[in-house]
Amino acid sequence: MIRVLIADDQALVRAGFRVILESQDDVQVVGEAANGHEAVEAARRLSPRVILMDIRMPGLDGIEATRRVLRDESRARVLILTTFDLDEYVYESLRAGASGFLLKDAGRDELIHAVHVVAAGEALLSPSITRRVIEDYTRRPPAREHPDELSDLTPRELEVLRLIARGLSNAEIASTLVVGDATVKTHITRIFAKLRLHDRAQAVVLAYESGLVQPGAGRA
């Protein structure tokens, strides 16, 4: 059973999402929150697997709420809700540890799919969204040192990380490197373990922030 918390300051949005999600046998909406403070408190109390988190909420916004939730509750996965597909806060949400984002006008099937994907530990970042959002918002990332962890990666693992950051799926990476899907999955598992990442979204952000991939480089 996937436990879901819905955090949005609009009651109608919360109600709509609840109706859709509760139509699924394997999804349970365990609570709702109308602002960031309520979301953090509810996450601690209810231990949801997935949190649908609005960005613009009164008191405490979704970005800071995401940061606090993931600091306290490592099992939770945050799916950011946004009105526009190029919301100026999307990149900051990913930096805070969100596993992806969903448009508020997404259809029923998109919402259900998104919850299942994030609950499974994957990132909800399509190749097109990866390219558009990450490349736009990493043009002005905060300065940071080249992470020491990258030195632990093998040349092939660095290559795989670059391809992830450029928006390629596992199948596309396998085709590019002329290897099997299982080999790609093994490389990705090792990359995540070495860099202490929990999903693809964090891998994309780290690749751009560290300078491993430059904005505007495009797809491989």
Separation of alpha carbons 89 and 102, rounded Å: 13
Task: Say which CATH number the domain at 195 has.
Answer: 1.10.10.10
Task: Convert the pLDDT of each residue in 109-166 to its tens digit.
Answer: 989 999 998 898 877 765 555 656 556 655 555 545 555 678 889 999 999 999 988 8
- 107 & 12 share domain: yes
- 80 & 170 share domain: no
- 82 & 176 share domain: no
Q: Is the pTM of this model over 0.85?
A: no
pLDDT for 28 equals 96
Query: Is 52 inside any structural domain?
Result: yes
Task: Convert the pLDDT of each residue in 18-43 to its tens digit.
Answer: 999 999 999 999 999 999 999 999 99
- 147 & 199 share domain: yes
SS3 at position 169: coil
The range of the structural domain enclosing residue 43 comes to 2-124
From the number of C-beta atoms within 10 Å of its C-beta (0-12, 13-18, 19+), residue 109 rates as exposed
Closest CA to 63 of 91, 35, 96, 39: 96
Query: Is 113 inside any structural domain?
Result: yes
Number of domains the chain contains? 2
- 36 & 109 share domain: yes
Nearest-10 crossing angle of helices 11-21, 108-119: 80
Measured from the Cβ of residue 14, the count of other Cβ atoms closer than 10 Å reads 19
